[in-house]
Amino acid sequence: MLFCCYGAQALANSITIYHDADYSIHAESAHSMAMGFKTALAEVGNRIQGYDIDLVVKDHRGNSKRSLHHMRQFLGDPSALFVLGGLHSPPYIQNRDFINQKGVLLLVPWAAGGPITRYPGDANWVFRLSIDDTRAGFRIAEYAIEDKRCKNPHLLLEETPWGKSNFKTLSSAVMQRLNQQPGVTWFGWNTRAGSARILLREAHQKGADCLLFVGNSIEGEVFARAMASLDAGKRLPIISHWGITGGDFHVKVNPDLRRHLDLHFIQTCFSFMSPTQTALSREVLQRTKALFPDKIEQPGDIAAPPGFIHAYDLGRIVIAALEQIELSGDIEADRVALRNALEQLQQPIEGLVKTYRQPFSPWSPARDDAHEALGLEDFCMAQYDDQNRIIVNTGDLAGRVE
């Protein structure tokens, strides 16, 4: 149910959650997050303390100014309790001062840029349950060097705040393991096939033996096709950030094309495709199939699964936090109360990725990861199979607790 107005009856009975995400270019990720969050809400009948809970779509189209406009709308909406974030990091990095100075309670289930949760002020209003780029690069580099035996990894990064936030971590990770500074190539959004082939050939000529890639599905497709078009002896393994999984990359870079590629990417360490499932994960899948029967029949039907998984776990955490407070109807006071409750969760919360025990704590410069629910131990590597399903190398991770 979407709001068109803010009548007294609506205010008395409803809470609004804005979903600020890219429902246009990377719609798969946005819909996946919405489904995961709605599945968690369905466990409490979409109702908390007598308030109906409504998720309102706010399509920022990957544009930071549109995202900022949604934040301003949020602040003026007397029923809006918090914002559920989306895939892109740049809107939350560029608008970070506004978000924290104005008290926009932002919960992030995907965007991985390191600075997002690290606002150095008196109050930090951003909480993340997702990959954190201050750590992700260490897992990506570890896999490239230890598993793929790369001796001269080359960074291929989109020239955005997200790409730049990965540069420091990836460079440091390569330096620690190989005692050398990796080469780097920057590319812009909408890079074309010809330019991509030139950049790949240049990296090969410089002695690169694998590529550490940070980009989204559109540019990921361009570089994947460009790599597959090269002579076999010039093709390099691609060890990617998970941005490629946020759209229809797996459809456009299909199994036939992927047979010419050595492609792996980072994910969090839970998968509905794993043979080892918990009672909770089986229940979640059945509930999702009942809620979205026209979209989900089997686990592989969940497109962009990290969005679903993280938004579901965030939903469970938010519900637990709301159960610790008493909503007053004063939306500004309730935002503060919810923010404080997130930092002081009193009971363990079972999720899909793991069981969370105090996933968040009060933020300070001395503990700049206090608003990060996941750590390096929660990050795994993955690849697509011939049915376009994401297969995560999870190992035996059942029953993990923070």
| pLDDT at residue 41 tops 60 | yes
Count CB neighbours of 293 within 10 A. Answer: 9
Give 254-294 pLDDT, tens digit per residue.
999 999 999 999 999 999 998 889 999 999 999 999 999 99
d(CA 128, CA 84): 10
Q: Where are the domains of the chain?
A: 8-133+275-377, 136-268
Residue 34: strand, helix, or coil: helix
Q: How far does Cα 323 stand from its chain's mean position?
A: 25
Confidence of residue 116 (pLDDT cuts 50, 70, 90): very high
Q: Lowest-confidence range among 12-16, 22-26, 356-360?
A: 12-16
**What is the fold, at CATH topology level, of the domain defined by 136-268?**
Rossmann fold (3.40.50)
| pLDDT at residue 8 tops 60 | no
d(CA 130, CA 143): 19
Confidence of residue 395 (pLDDT cuts 50, 70, 90): low
**Which CATH number is 8-133+275-377 given?**
3.40.50.2300
Same topology, domains 8-133+275-377 and 136-268? Answer is yes
Q: What is the mean pLDDT of residues 372-388?
A: 95
Angle among Cα 220, 185, 68 to the nearest 5 degrees reads: 65
Q: Which residues pair with 75 in a beta bridge?
A: none
